């Protein structure tokens, strides 16, 4: 979220001059196989992008036209390839998969990363990766995408110009989430099975440090100045504060049970954390460490702060809905009924 936050804040200032653009929230819904599009100004669903395969991970950058969706579903091995996007010809589809090195009878653990053209609202390419993909991340310059393979213990690096996997890298047991620094020079991968975060220098694609955090680290967010990494630790219900210059966790906050989604306000004042196990949302004041907690049943899940609008979007793991909270008061001001599925990794973009 952070690599899109400055852009959205600028948009808020320039809105009177830009009448044909609108802030949109893109939400993958898991095994219902689509992405829901929500107008942030009205909190209304304005469209859906189909043709996906159990997408949990979704990411983008304001420097690219693409959304990158991972898949937690193996392709149909009898067919040997994923479904053809509706806007792609049969010849293009066959050529694409041949170029990607796809083979009939691929391993059941293989999956596809779907490249979605945001403005055209359709899947334009599928890229074969070596395992099921949990979360994804896109660098701020829009050139590189990461697919995180929890079961396989590593990541795939995708060049978005070449539309191809250019590198794979092992990180640790049960990698979960990926986060780039704003300059793209470093990438952080949480390894839930190891209690560690791997730091990767993207100029060499070498792991430079392994940073100990809490038990089962999953979602993460980096401060806008790239000084701190905030890590949600599922198993011990905590958030680790990693000083990136020092390369170690310097503070820990307890916030609930089975923590999951995490995000920062654009001014760096507040950190928001969802706890599925206690049905609560916590807001941490980073200047003094004060924690304000509100009940938000059932099972608050993914979290997205909307810059300039003082809105906080929180999905539910158990119901197909997103609650819209006032970030200042933490009161629910609206609720978006998705109709089906579960809202996973939410992405903010500006699209016509």
pLDDT category at 22 given cuts 50, 70, 90 is confident
C-alpha span between 175 and 294 (Å, rounded): 30
Tokens of 291: 């924690």
Q: Is the pLDDT of residue 326 over 60?
A: yes
Residues 58-84, mean pLDDT to the nearest whole number: 79
328 and 24 in contact (C-beta within 8 Å)? Answer: no
Q: Is the pLDDT of residue 88 over 90?
A: no
pLDDT category at 308 given cuts 50, 70, 90 is confident
57 and 69 in contact (C-beta within 8 Å)? Answer: yes
Residues 117-144, mean pLDDT to the nearest whole number: 96
pTM of full prediction above 0.75: yes
| Dihedral over alpha carbons 21, 23, 28, 34 (to 10 degrees) | -30
Q: Which of 36-50, 73-87, 245-259 has the lowest mean pLDDT?
A: 73-87
Beta bridge partners of 69: 58, 114
State which H helix or E strand residue 138 sits in: strand 136-138
pLDDT tens, residue by residue, 33-58: 999 999 999 999 999 999 899 999 99
Residues 263-269, mean pLDDT to the nearest whole number: 94
Q: Is the pLDDT of residue 231 over 90?
A: yes
pLDDT recorded at residue 250: 98
Fold entry, domain 2-351: Methylamine Dehydrogenase; Chain H (2.130.10)
Write down the residue that tokens 């924690």 correspond to: 291
Q: Is the pLDDT of residue 324 over 80?
A: yes
5 and 344 in contact (C-beta within 8 Å)? Answer: no
Strand, coil or helix: what is 263?
strand
Spans of all domains in the chain: 2-351
pLDDT category at 170 given cuts 50, 70, 90 is very high
pLDDT recorded at residue 76: 63
Q: Is the pLDDT of residue 252 over 60?
A: yes
Q: Is the pLDDT of residue 14 over 90?
A: no
Residues 286-315, mean pLDDT to the nearest whole number: 95
pLDDT category at 19 given cuts 50, 70, 90 is very low
Q: Is the pLDDT of residue 285 over 70?
A: yes
Q: Is the pLDDT of residue 21 over 70?
A: no
Contacts of 65 (CB under 8 A, 6+ apart): 117, 118, 119
C-alpha span between 36 and 326 (Å, rounded): 22
Contacts of 114 (CB under 8 A, 6+ apart): 51, 52, 53, 55, 68, 69, 71, 85, 123, 125, 126
pLDDT recorded at residue 99: 34
Torsion sign (Cα): 339, 345, 350, 352:
negative
55 and 114 in contact (C-beta within 8 Å)? Answer: yes
- As a whole number, the mean pLDDT across the chain is 88
pLDDT recorded at residue 89: 42
C-alpha span between 277 and 300 (Å, rounded): 9
pLDDT recorded at residue 81: 47
Residues 314-330, mean pLDDT to the nearest whole number: 97
- How is residue 16 annotated by DSSP? G
Residues 136-151, mean pLDDT to the nearest whole number: 97
pLDDT category at 351 given cuts 50, 70, 90 is confident
């Amino acid at each position: 979220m952070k690599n899109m936050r400055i852009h959205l804040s600028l948009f808020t200032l320039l809105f009177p001059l830009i009448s044909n653009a609108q802030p949109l929230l893109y939400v993958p819904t898991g095994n219902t196989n689509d992405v829901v599009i929500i107008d942030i100004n009205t909190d209304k669903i304005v469209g859906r992008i189909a043709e996906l395969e159990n997408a949990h991970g979704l990411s983008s950058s304001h420097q690219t036209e693409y959304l990158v969706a991972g898949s937690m579903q193996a392709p149909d091995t009898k067919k040997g390839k994923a479904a053809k996007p509706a806007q792609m010809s049969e010849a293009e589809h066959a050529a694409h998969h041949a170029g990607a090195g796809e083979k009939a009878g691929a391993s059941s653990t293989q999956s596809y990363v779907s490249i979605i053209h945001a403005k055209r609202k359709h899947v334009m390419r599928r890229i074969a990766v070596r395992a099921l993909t949990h979360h994804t991340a896109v660098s701020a310059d829009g050139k590189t995408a990461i697919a995180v393979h929890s079961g396989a213990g590593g990541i795939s690096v995708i060049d978005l110009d070449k539309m191809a996997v250019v590198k794979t890298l092992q990180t640790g047991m049960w990698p979960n989430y990926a986060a780039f620094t704003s300059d793209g020079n470093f990438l952080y991968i949480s390894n839930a099975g190891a209690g560690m975060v791997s730091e990767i220098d993207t100029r060499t694609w070498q792991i430079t440090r392994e940073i100990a955090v809490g038990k089962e680290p999953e979602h993460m967010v980096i401060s806008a100045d790239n000084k701190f990494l905030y890590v949600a630790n599922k198993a011990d219900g905590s958030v680790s504060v990693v000083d990136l210059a020092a390369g170690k966790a310097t503070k820990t906050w307890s916030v609930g049970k089975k923590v999951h989604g995490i995000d920062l306000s654009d001014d760096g004042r507040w950190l928001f954390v969802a706890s599925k196990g206690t049905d609560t949302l916590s807001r941490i004041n980073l200047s003094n460490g004060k924690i304000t907690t509100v009940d938000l049943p059932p099972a608050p899940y993914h979290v997205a702060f909307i810059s300039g609008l003082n809105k906080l979007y929180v999905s539910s793991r158990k119901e197909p809905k997103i609650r819209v909270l006032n970030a200042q008061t933490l009161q629910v001001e609206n609720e978006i009924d998705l109709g089906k599925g579960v809202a996973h990794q939410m992405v903010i973009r500006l699209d016509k």
